[in-house]
Amino acid sequence: MLGPGLPGVPLGAAAARCLLALCDDDTPVWFQHDQWQHDDATLVTWLCFHTGAPRSPTPDAARFGVITRALAMPSLSAFHMGVAESPEQSTTLLIELPSFDTGSALEWRGPGIREAQAVALAGLPAAFWSQWQTNHAAYPQGVDVLFTCGDQLIGLPRTTRVRRLERV
> Is residue 70 in a domain?
yes
| In the predicted structure, residue 8 carries a pLDDT above the cut 90 | no
One-letter amino acid identity for 16?
A
Domains of the chain: total = 1
Long-range (24+ apart) CB contacts under 8 A made by 31-39 are 31/55, 31/65, 31/66, 32/65, 32/66, 32/67, 32/68, 32/69, 32/72, 32/73, 32/74, 34/72, 39/10
Q: What is the pLDDT of residue 10?
A: 81
Task: Of 69, 168, 84, give the one whose Cα is nearest residue 123.
Answer: 69
Q: Are 53 and 92 in contact (CB under 8 A)?
A: no
Name the average pLDDT for the chain: 90
What domain range is 130 assigned to? 13-163
Domain membership flag for residue 148: yes
Please determine, for residue 116, whether its predicted confidence score (pLDDT) is greater than 80: yes
Q: Does residue 6 or residue 95 have the better pLDDT?
A: 95
Residue type, 168: V
Whether the per-residue pLDDT at 137 is higher than 60: the answer is: yes
First vs last Cα of the chain: how many Å apart?
31
Q: Partners of 146 in the beta sheet?
A: 94, 155
- Beta carbons of 96 and 67 less than 8 angstroms apart: yes
**Residue 139 sits in a domain of what CATH number?**
3.40.50.11310
Query: Each residue of 28-43: pLDDT tens digit?
Result: 999 997 544 545 678 8
Q: Is the peptide bond before 140 cis (omega within 30 degrees of 0)?
A: yes
Residue 47 lies in a domain: yes
Higher-pLDDT residue of 168 and 79 is: 79
Torsions phi, psi for 35 (to 5 deg): -160, 155
Residue 33: the pLDDT is 72
What order do you get walking across the sheet with 144-149 strand by strand?
29-31, 64-67, 92-96, 144-149, 152-156
Report yes or no on 2 lying in a domain: no
Looking at the chain, the whole-number percentage of residues with pLDDT higher than 90 is 79
Q: Which residue has the higher pLDDT, 81 or 167?
A: 81
Is 3 inside any structural domain?
no
What are 57-107's pLDDT values in tens digits? Answer: 999 999 999 999 999 999 999 999 999 999 999 999 999 999 999 999 999
